[in-house]
Amino acid sequence: MILGALEAGGTKMVCAIGNEQGEILERISIPTVSPEETMPQMIAFFREHHIEALGVGCFGPINPVKGTATYGYITSTPKLAWQQYNIVGAFEEALGCPVGFDTDVNAAMLGEATFGIAKGLDNCIYVTIGTGVGVGVYINGGLLHGMMHPEAGHLLLQRHPSDSYPGKCPFHGNCLEGLAAGPAIEARWGARGIDLKDRREVWELEAYYIAQACVNFTLVYSPRRIILGGGVMHQEQLFPMVRQQYQELMADYVVTPELENLNRYIVPCSLGDNQGVMGCLELALEAVGEQLLAKGLQNGKLFDL
């Protein structure tokens, strides 16, 4: 099948063509401006390749809950031009094919669960730490939505006694994103993370917050693995620090085979930063399956499609 993938970000739209094996055949990037300007360019690209379904992993907040009035909308995003925009409806109308829809981090989680390091696991967490923090949650073999979708990037954390930085989040003084995303590192230390590589205290503090979040994810979601991705996690020295602080904070409270080897429990993403696009391909495929199922049910012959 020819599947379309859209990794919709606040600064760029990555549009790709691929197949159900997760192979990416072509990819372009379009600046995110406004629906009026950006949508026609994306639609033209997908039309040109005659895609049979589209999967959209989208910046948020969004409404991914099927059956609700604003399903498929980007909702209260700070990107004003896209507020209350029915992105799924616009693609369905223009392309006439099934459209799968979820958050960008849930799509990345799905990519890892289908093609990557979480393949075969029933429960897993994907955390991306970059300009913001997003968390994708895969539970009992499916992505978690609930009343909207998890916003665990804003998990409230205990501040380190030595940290006087007030936090970057306009809503919370001490949330994960506000204390540990790229802009917080830059504001706290006066330089970009990439230029602070050799400052051990920068990464020890960063690891303290990420490890706290990971402990909380273990306690709340019971994941079999925690995947850490995003630009900040390109600082690979963070991984052993996070694992060590995780061990100290967990204090052997939870004892499972998974936690015996933290090198296999807290891991980097595995698909070379393609997990988002590959997850969108899987979202597209799932949308095809759901449409076939709906048609089968309508015709009253579920097994004769």
**DSSP letter (8 states) at residue 31:** E
Other C-beta atoms closer than 10 Å to the C-beta of 55 total 31
- Contact with Zn ion (CB under 5 A) among 164, 171, 198, 303: 171
What's the closest the beta carbon of residue 160 comes to Zn ion, in angstroms? 17
Instruction: Determine, following the binding rule CB under 5 A, whether residue 157 of this chain makes contact with Zn ion.
Output: no
Which C-beta is closer to Zn ion: that of 39 or that of 169? 169
| CA 121 to chain CA centroid, nearest Å | 17
Going by the DSSP 8-state scheme, the letter that residue 175 receives in this structure is B
CB of 151 to Zn ion, least distance (A): 9
Contacts with Zn ion in 56-115 (CB under 5 A)?
A: none
Token digits for 119? 């393949």
Instruction: Between 88 and 232, name the residue whose CB sits nearer to Zn ion.
Output: 232
Query: Which of the ranges 38-46, 115-123, 151-159, 293-301 carries the binding residues for Zn ion, by CB under 5 A?
Result: 151-159
Determine contact, residues 54/284, Cβ cutoff 8 Å: yes
Supply the minimum distance, in Å, between the C-beta of residue 171 and Zn ion: 5
Residue pair 8/55 in contact by the 8 Å Cβ criterion: no
Between 79 and 172, CB nearer to Zn ion: 172
- Looking at beta carbons only, is 184 or 284 nearer to Zn ion? 184
Please give the residues from 237 up to 276 whose contact with Zn ion meets the rule CB under 5 A: none
When the beta carbons of 12 and 159 are compared against Zn ion, the nearer one is: 159
Exactly one of 27, 49, 159, 172 binds Zn ion (CB under 5 A); which one?
Answer: 172
Whole-number minimum distance, CB 152 to Zn ion, in Å? Answer: 11
Long-range contacts of 59-62 (CB under 8 A, 24+ apart): 59/8, 59/9, 59/10, 59/103, 59/104, 60/103, 60/104, 60/149, 61/148, 61/149, 61/151, 62/101, 62/102, 62/103, 62/148, 62/149
Q: Is 303 in the site for Zn ion (CB under 5 A)?
A: no
- Which span (18-26, 30-38, 164-172, 281-289) binds Zn ion, by CB under 5 A? 164-172
Nearer to Zn ion, 153 or 193 (CB): 153
| Of the residues 154, 188, 224, 225, which one makes contact with Zn ion according to CB under 5 A | 154
Is the separation of the CB atoms in 277 and 7 below 8 Å?
Answer: yes
- Per DSSP, the three-state class of 128 is strand
CB atoms inside a 10 Å sphere around CB 20: 15
One character per residue 173-192, x = contact with Zn ion (rule: CB under 5 A)? --x--x--------------
Q: Nearest distance from residue 127's CB to Zn ion, in Å?
A: 15
Nearer to Zn ion, 154 or 224 (CB): 154
Least Å distance between CB 254 and Zn ion? 26
Hey, what are 45's tokens? 């690209």
Q: Is 168 in the site for Zn ion (CB under 5 A)?
A: no
Residue 72 backbone class (left: φ over 0; alpha: ψ -120 to 50; beta: rest): left
Q: Integer distance in angstroms from the first to the last C-alpha of the chain?
A: 17
Count of residues of this chain found to bind Zn ion when the rule CB under 5 A is applied: 6
| Contact assessment for residue 176 and residue 209, using Cβ atoms and an 8 Å cutoff | yes
Return the residue of 53, 152, 169, 196 that touches Zn ion, per CB under 5 A.
169
Q: Which residues bind Zn ion (CB under 5 A)?
A: 154, 169, 171-172, 175, 178
